[in-house]
Amino acid sequence: MNCEAYRRALDENPAFDGGAGHIAECAACRAYRQSALAFETTLAKALELPVPGLRMPELPPIDGDNVVSLEKRRRGILPGWFALAASVALVGLVSFWMLGNSPQYDSLAEEIVAHLDHEPAALRVTDVAVSDRRLHEVVPADIANLDQAGSLVTYAQTCKINGKLVPHLVIQGRNGPVTVLLMPDESIDQAEVLEGEGINGVLVPVGNGSIAIIGDKDENLELIQQRVVNSVTWSA
């Protein structure tokens, strides 16, 4: 089971435990599962909040000598309607948390820099390359053709950037791991420097898409940028 299939199964059923072997080897998916379980716990606690039951008052019989004023009726009805309003407010709060929990970014560059914090396990020094099969799963032929010559790809994952699933790769640079994000649907007008604490990065236009390359602050990205850009050809 690959990362994308495991996460899809977990999204459909938070109690899914059929990927024990996968998460034993994948730190990113372990973190994803912990986040999903934490949300389910928060949701369960929210639904346990005590809410008064909806109870409509019994209206007295109409009697010319004993007519209940509209103001008194309103006071009698208020608790029931207040309970309904509280229930609606609770649903709205949970919906807001679910739909609005994803952070919003002012720019594509800002989201890319923030994304690096989500998968720290990817940035490890190693000389073990991912398998060709794994690489082709993450960078299928309908996205791009990737020439691996001269680059040791040590991490390959499908991640979401700006609402789109994109290949997230790591290659080994001279000073440490270098992150490469292939974004065939993110068109930009010109190259942009990616700034963050201790990082050195660039977002460059490539055809109708773009590629982000981020390394250590002391990493010379010029050679890596040229090699990566020359090795990628968008399929569409």
pTM: 0.58
pLDDT tens for each residue of the chain, 236 residues long = 777 777 777 777 777 777 777 777 777 777 777 777 776 776 666 666 666 666 666 655 655 556 555 555 555 544 554 555 555 555 555 554 444 455 677 889 889 888 887 777 788 888 888 898 999 999 988 888 887 666 789 999 999 999 899 999 999 988 889 999 999 999 999 999 988 777 889 999 999 999 999 998 888 888 888 888 888 889 87
Q: Which fold has domain 108-234?
A: Protein Transport Mog1p; Chain A (3.40.1000)
Which residues, 6 or more positions from 115, have their beta carbon under 8 angstroms from its beta carbon? 159, 161, 168, 181
- Other C-beta atoms lying within 10 Å of the C-beta of residue 138: 24
Query: Where are the domains positioned within the chain?
Result: 3-47, 108-234
